[in-house]
Amino acid sequence: MVSFVRLSALLVAVLLNGCEQQDAPPLDQQLYVWQRQWTPAHDAALRDSRADFSTLRVLALQAFPQVGWRRARIDPALLKRDGRPLIAVIRLDGQLQSLDQDEVTAQIQQLLSDWQGKGLTLAGVEIDHDAGNARLPAYRAFLTHLRAVLPATLPLSITALPAWLDSPELSSLLSTVDSSVLQVHAVSDPRHGLFDPDQARKWAKGWGRITTKPFYLALPAYGVALLPGTSGAPVVESEVPVGRGGERRELLADPLQLRTLAMDLRADPPAHLAGLIWFRLPLAGDRRAWSLTTLGAVARGDTLDSRLSVKFSAQDGLYDISVSNQGNLDSPWPERVTLAVQGCDGADALAGYALQQSPDLLTFTRLSAGRIAAGGQRAIGWARCTKIDQGGSNVHP
């Protein structure tokens, strides 16, 4: 009897220990701040992102072919007040013919000195360089040099490409840095889409099998437009408008897909996955990024929904007509809005919609694409009527 009790206790202990080993720490959630020119809108965006995102990875310095070096015009006072761990990202364009170790290192050291002089304390440096596989040995040599001259206490990370999984150089490259950020969006032909969640899972698992150090996944919370190019390949328009004619094809990362992926990764993370980094911090009016409300809801794993309704602002029989989104998910403009009306002697639609009018019905029909941010609204027209029946109004997504 005693031996049976002891055996049972041992089995329980083994099972409990196994459960404890399987419990993974929660995935960290971070943000890229990728605007080259900071504006007053950064104040509210940083403040409202604090609850959901632990760390800021801030675009600090870029090197371009021919153009040379460009610094982002950050607001150090906002970053100091924010107080979250701060990682400076140095973007070295993949089209650079080569990396001059001494020049690049001097530029980075000067940046770090200048930021320190502005009262900013860095928690790390990230190098973002889209090197082709053939150039990975040279890239490894540069990172080895950089690691040797940076303070030993300052973590060094790199942005990494899934294509590197095919390179025998990958393990030795990753050994030169403290962590890596695997970018799983906008890494293939944009005509095939901005993001593939199934492919992202495969890449993340493959990365976890190769690296022995923490890594993060960079996930998209934005969109781009594709414009026809002269060489057949499309021109990509993102944060900066492209002065080019032609029809724009809009691509937007799907919040529902990303929420599912993030929840799957939290429940069953690949080996060494330390967290998720969302690209990018949205500002008010950013038409090619999710709203911060939607981004926060996705990061938390909240249930997502759009709740569209018609809103009226009336004065002396003149109604301003808007569609409001009271949900936490950004929504496309509704395809059609119908209003039950009486005694209308004038009405019109605003840009993006067309109006069809009958004695008892106004129908606003969408002509072009757009989005209503979570918590926002969009004016669609006006009408001068004796009555508009709120209960008889309908929004057709």
Annotate 290-348 with DSSP letters as a single string: --HHHHHHHHHTPPP---EEEEEEEETTEEEEEEEE-SSS-EEPPSEEEEEEES-SEEE
Round to whole Å and give the CA distance between 306 and 331: 6
The two beta strands, 156-160 and 179-183, are parallel
Q: Quote the mean pLDDT of the chain.
A: 91
Which of residues 211 and 225 earns the better pLDDT score?
211
In the prediction, which pLDDT does 244 show?
65
What six digits make up the tokens of 272?
Answer: 């060494």
What is the domain partition of the chain in residue ranges?
25-300, 308-396
245 DSSP 8-state letter: -
In the prediction, which pLDDT does 3 show?
43
Count Cβ atoms within 10 A of the Cβ of residue 326 and give its class: 0-12 exposed, 13-18 middle, 19 or more buried: middle
In the prediction, which pLDDT does 5 show?
42
The two beta strands, 387-396 and 336-342, are antiparallel
Contact yes or no for 306/374 (Cβ under 8 A)? yes
What six digits make up the tokens of 162?
Answer: 């899934």
Q: Categorize the per-residue pLDDT at 193 as very low, low, confident or very high, splitting at 50, 70 and 90.
A: confident
Q: State yes or no: cis peptide before 280, omega within 30 of 0.
A: yes
Domains 25-300 and 308-396 share a fold: no
What six digits make up the tokens of 194?
Answer: 């901005």
What six digits make up the tokens of 79?
Answer: 């970053």
Fold of 308-396: Immunoglobulin-like (2.60.40)
Which residues, in sequence order, are bridge partners of residue 312?
Answer: 321
228-284: pLDDT as tens digits: 777 766 777 776 677 666 677 788 999 999 999 999 999 999 999 999 999 999 999
- Tell me the pTM: 0.90
Sign of CA dihedral 63, 252, 45, 26: negative
Element (H, E) at 127: strand 124-129
Q: Categorize the per-residue pLDDT at 181 as very low, low, confident or very high, splitting at 50, 70 and 90.
A: very high
CATH superfamily of this structure's domain 25-300:
Glycosidases (3.20.20.80)
336-357: pLDDT as tens digits: 999 999 999 999 999 999 999 9
Round to whole Å and give the CA distance between 14 and 109: 51
